[in-house]
Amino acid sequence: MPRRERRAQLMESALEVFVAHGYHAAAMDDIADRAGVSKPVLYQHFPGKLDLYLALLDASCDNIIDNCRQALASTTDNKLRVQAAMQAFFDYVAAETGAFRLVFESDLTSEPAVREHVDRVTTECAAMITEVIHDDTGLPDEASRLLAVSLVGMAQVSARFWLGEAGESSGAIPLKDAANLVAGLAWRGIRGYPKTDDN
């Protein structure tokens, strides 16, 4: 198998193990077994468990940041932008891979490299939203950034809460309805800030 394909296969197997067991309980032996390779093959691609975890975390962070970027670029209508951004977070959390657990529920947040990766999601998503808020409202950068971080926090926490509720109750709010409900709350708050134009 070509090196790139092997690396992708190992990461997919590692994701399953880390999501199921968390970082501390996951073993490189388990990951090698899941991938159907020997442990030395695994170590040829990743020097250690932390390196493998950080590679997965990086890919997961890139995914949610890219989703947020696409949501913001999908329209110039700010109400629809809020809705698309909330949907991006809910879709990410609801994905079958469970990759969001690496980002939002890591059992290794005391590790500086992990914390840095996790914080990157909030920082980069908020930076994109800050720019939109600043451009459309004329608010100072600091105020725009605080509002942006608040919106990102609302998206993360509500999506994770919804998933927990959905897992325990058959009468849970459907995914799209849940994202729209939270988007409605966010829009009713953010639309109150003055715009620099009539759009």
Tell me the per-residue pLDDT of 75-85, one tens digit each, with 9 for 90 and over. 999 999 999 99
Tokens of 98: 């469970």
pLDDT at 182 over 50: yes
How much is the average pLDDT of 92-98? 87
Between 171 and 91, the more confident residue is 91
pLDDT at 199 over 50: no
Say what percent of the chain tops pLDDT 70.
Answer: 94
Domains and CATH numbers, the chain: 1-47 (1.10.10.60), 57-192 (1.10.357.10)
Between 2 and 123, the more confident residue is 123
pLDDT at 3 over 90: no
Q: What is the pLDDT confidence band of residue 101, given thresholds at 50, 70 and 90?
A: confident
How much is the average pLDDT of 66-93? 94
Q: What is the pLDDT confidence band of residue 167, given thresholds at 50, 70 and 90?
A: low
